[in-house]
Each structure stands twice: as structure tokens, then as C-alpha cells.
Homo-oligomer: A and B are copies of this chain.
Amino acid sequence: MSDLFWPGDERAGDLMTSSALLAAMVRVESAWLTALVGAGVAPAAARDDLEGLVGPADVEALAAAAEPGGNPVIGLVPLLRERVGDRNADAARWLHRGLTSQDVLDTALLLCARETADRIRRQLTAQVARLAELADEHAGTVMAGRTLTQHAVPLTFGLKVAGWLAGVLDAYDPLVALRWPVQLGGAAGTRAAWMELAGGLGDPQQVAEALAADVATRLGLAPADPWHTSRAAVTRVGDALVACTDAWGRIANDVLTLSRPEIAELSEGTGGGSSTMPHKANPVLSTLVRRAALTTPQLAATLHLAAAESVDERADGGWHAEWGTLRTLARHAAVAGSQATDLLAGLRVHADRMRAHHDEAAEDLHAEQRTMASLAGHDPSGAYLGTAGRLVESALARARRHLHQHPDQHLEENR
């Protein structure tokens, strides 16, 4: 994946690529075939390992084969049958039996999305760690607070960072609360084919339930009743990812504002160059993070529309609108998360400039204080930083709890 239209896209690596989806679909087919054999529905001879039978080189042909049936499973099943059939006719015969395209695609999509969510969870934890450092370090760094672009009352940079931290932690919660249910329903969600296949095996209902449970276990997903037309599993992923870009977008906006040369209270670790102006050091990471935050909410809206447009036992377009939209949303979020991590890691804080602006604007920044002191009947009491220290401490405590619960999560590389 090299995308000249979305600089930084390669940070998302293989997340939600066509190759990754293909591999996930094969995992699902493989788990199902194994379960069929395990349950005694298919003969032991049908057991086979499908991994490696198809790969990135097949994507082009499978994409072309996807359109006539409307989804990429349509071409995959015969291809797998053909390839595995060369060595194992039973596997070819039993492969996919009892599934429908949507089972394979929905489950594979969630496998890919979960991988994205895991990546982003680690990014968020790394950010929590870095933000806690920054908030702690700058708990006493005085700066001008600004509301509606104008000077308000004094602030500490630590408190501003505590706000960023709160945003990141708020984004973490729904991400870990995501459910990853397996989708297994057969042609119209009744699992009728399973019962038919299991006709002679004791209690077919039990066989059916065992099949679903076995596949879920093999894939590490939650067992679930079919959700082919109840799409909360998908919309929640979208909402959770947008909550992340919301949190990062707000940080980016603050960095962009405070790194304006007339303010210059922050700067990115490495500024971005220009194709024509040799002096330039642009806040590129913030710019690219902000870009994502402007883009993802509308993608998540499309996922909701797709969910709302469910109808019958498989939607005529609503379902199909999900896949590419979720892919783009997920990759944009993963890229932005990685960029935000780098942004924070390299962020340079110019406490002297913060102090200077604060001092220059002291008259205005303390106007409210004078009113309050007059009201309370005493002279203004000094720094006018309120409970900033305690609020920073409160945010740090929350961060520490988070890091304690997720001790190693942020040690992995930022991609």
C-alpha cells in the first residue's frame, strides 16, 4: 500500500489491505472446515490447512471475480476448492459448506478491524505515557489561557496537556469495550444448512451450536447469534475510531495554533520542508493528524447509514457500503494514531515563550481575578491558577491507573 493521496498511509502497514482481508477470509474458511470435521459433519479426510493456498498474487483475479456475485467470497470459494482439490478432494467437497458469503466476509472484516483496534490501543497507551510525562513536567509551566482565540485567564501547560490526556483516555474506553462477535448464520441466518448436514448426528441443534462455538474459539472471537442485519458490531468500531481521531485532532489543533511563529510556544520535533522555501519547518504531523480528524466522522456516518439501510436477510447495498468505508476509516485512524504518537514524542515545549506571553498579557489575564477579589473583598491573591495543580494530578492518577493496567502495551513500535 503506497498512497500518494494520503501521505503517511504506509504507517498502517498491512492493516485492512486486500491481502489482509484475503488472509482473514481464508482463516475463517479454515476454521469452519476444521469445525465441520471436528463435529463429525465432514469426514476426517476433509481436514486440511488452507493457509498458503491463496495469497497476494491472487488478489487481482479475486477482485475481478468479486463483482459478478457482489462480494469477494464468491470467487474465493471456487479458487480454494480448486487448489485444495489437487491434494484433497474431501476438503474441496466440504469447504464452505453451511456458510454464506456474508459469514465469511463479516467475520473476516472484524478480524481485520480488531487488528486495527489493537494497534490503536497500543498507540493510545503510548500516548498516555508520554502525555503523563508532559503533564507532570509542565504542571508548573505558566502560560496564557485562551478562549475563542483571545486571552482568558492564566493556565499551566500541564493542565492543557491534562486535557489532551483526558481526551485520549476517553477514546480508549470505547475501543476496549468493542465486541468482536463471530458472524455465522448461513444463507439467511437460520443455520439451516448446518442442520441438514448434521442430519444423522444425534441432536443436530447441539451440533450446530458446537460448530458456532468452535469457530469462534478458533478465531478468538465472541460466540454470537447471527448479526447479519443488526450492524452494531460494525458501527461501534466506526464510532470508536472516530473518538480517537477526535482526541488527536484536538491535540493537533493546539499544536498548530501554538506553533504559529507569533506564538511559538510549541514546535514539532522535526518540521516539514517545502519544495521551494528553504527556511520552512512546518508542523506536518499535526497537519496530517488534523486532516484525518476532518475526514473520519463522515466515514463513520456512512457506516451508520449502511446499518440503517439493512433490510431483509441481507441488505441490497447497505452491507456492501460498509467494507471500503470501514477500511478507509480504519487505515486513516491507524495512520493518525501513529503520527500523533510521533508528534507527542517529539513535541518541543518553549516554556520561556509561554511565560513571556503570560507576562505581556498579565493585565488581561488577571481581569477576572480583580473582579473576583473585589467581590470577595480582598486584594488579588497572586498567581490565579486555581486548582490547576490538582486537576493535573487527577489526570495523572487516571493515567497511572491506565498504565498500571496495561503495562507493556506501549512498548511496541509505533506503527
Contact = CB atoms under 8 A, between A and B. Distances in A.
Interface in A318-345: 318, 320-321, 323-325, 327-328, 332
A263 to B, nearest CB: 5
A100 B275 contact: yes
Contacts of A154: 188, 190, 192
Contacts of A167: 229-230, 232
A14 interface: no
Interface in A178-203: 186-200
A288 B2 contact: no
A283 B199 contact: no
A331 to B, nearest CB: 10
A249 B309 contact: yes
Contacts of A52: none
A306 B309 CA distance: 13
B256 A62 contact: no
Contact of A282 (B98, B148, B235, B249): B148
Contact of A196 (B229, B257, B373): B373
A366 to B, nearest CB: 9
A45 interface: no
Contact of A155 (B190, B259, B281, B286): B190
| Chain copies in the assembled complex | 4
Contact of A386 (B193, B200, B225, B270): B193
Interface in A149-172: 149-155, 159-160, 162-163, 166-167, 170-171
Contacts of A301: 297-298, 300-301
A174 B261 CA distance: 38
Q: How many residues of A sit at the interface, in one of the four size bands?
A: 35 or more
A316 interface: yes
A287 B193 CA distance: 25
A254 B279 CA distance: 23
A360 B194 CA distance: 24
Nearest to A11: B67
A226 interface: yes
A291 B288 CA distance: 22
Nearest to A177: B177
A60 B1 CA distance: 8
Nearest to A398: B225
17 contacts: A6-B324, A67-B288, A68-B273, A69-B272, A74-B273, A93-B375, A94-B375, A100-B274, A146-B260, A149-B256, A149-B259, A152-B280, A190-B386, A193-B372, A229-B250, A230-B247, A294-B305
